[in-house]
Structure formats: structure tokens, C-alpha cells
A = this chain, B = another copy of it.
Amino acid sequence: MSSTSRLLQLLLSARRSLDLCLFSFSHQQLARAVRILHRRGVRVRVVTDEQYMGLQGSQIGLLRQAGIQVRHDQDSGYMHHKFAIVDRRLLITGSLNWTASAIQSNRENLLVLEDTEYVKPFLDEFERIWEEYNPINYKFF
């Protein structure tokens, strides 16, 4: 099975929630899976990087159009995480950015972890970032 198929399968196993914390998200097939989950009633939340979300090919705009909640940083530094948490129990993380070029051309790794010891710190980091990037905290001037 290809790594894309494996990743799709893991994502589509979500029943209640999908938390995505992705530096860059331009992979069409993966974005389609995320929209399917949203339509199925799975609670999808996306955190991404401000500088990368507007780049050509980014799927972030389409996710927002579909009604999915997306939050982003306001820093000059990158929101460089690349992880997903399925149903608050399955962590998918690694070096892989969710782009076609990374999946096709790069040497990458992806870890799938279910141990609370490893999943908990990522869940906590997600909730921390989710609150920190709440639009009510955005500074416009």
C-alpha cells in the first residue's frame, strides 16, 4: 500500500474528531478526505502557517469554503508542525508536509502512535495553539 493510501485510510477512520496541525497543506486527495469527514459530521479543526496558507495550490481556502474551522499564527516564525490526531487517540506525525511534491519526490518519515504518553503532549500542544490562534486574539494594527 502506498503511503498516501495508508494516510488516507487512517484519516478516514475518524469517527468523532480530526485535529490537523499542518505547516503546508496542498495535497488535493488528502484535502478531499478532510472535506468528506467534515460532511460526515466529524469535528475537523485545522491549524496552519500564515505564510504558507496563501501559496499557490494551498488547500486551506477550499477547506474554509467547505465550512471547516481554520486558525493560523501571526508570527514571523513558522507554524512548522506536521501532525494529525484522529479521534484524540491516534497521532500521525513526522517530517512529511502534506504536499504532492513531498509525497512524490522526497525522502520522508511518518510515525503513527497510539500510546497516550506520546499522543497527550501533541493533543495539549494542539489545544494550546488552537486557543493562542483564536481570531479574537489577532492583532490587526
A residues touching B (Cβ–Cβ < 8 Å)?
23, 73, 75-83, 93-96, 101-102, 104-109, 111, 113, 118, 122, 125, 129
Copy count, this protein chain? 2
A106 to B79: give the CA distance in the assembly, Å: 6
Residue on B with the closest CB to A132?
Answer: B107
- Please indicate the chain B residues that have their CB under 8 angstroms from the CB of A102 in the complex: 78, 80
- Please indicate the chain B residues that have their CB under 8 angstroms from the CB of A73 in the complex: 107
A95 to B96: give the CA distance in the assembly, Å: 8
Contact: B109 with A81, CB < 8 Å?
A: yes
A95 to B83: give the CA distance in the assembly, Å: 9
Query: Are A106 and B118 CB-contacts (below 8 A) given A23-B95, A93-B111, A111-B93?
Result: no
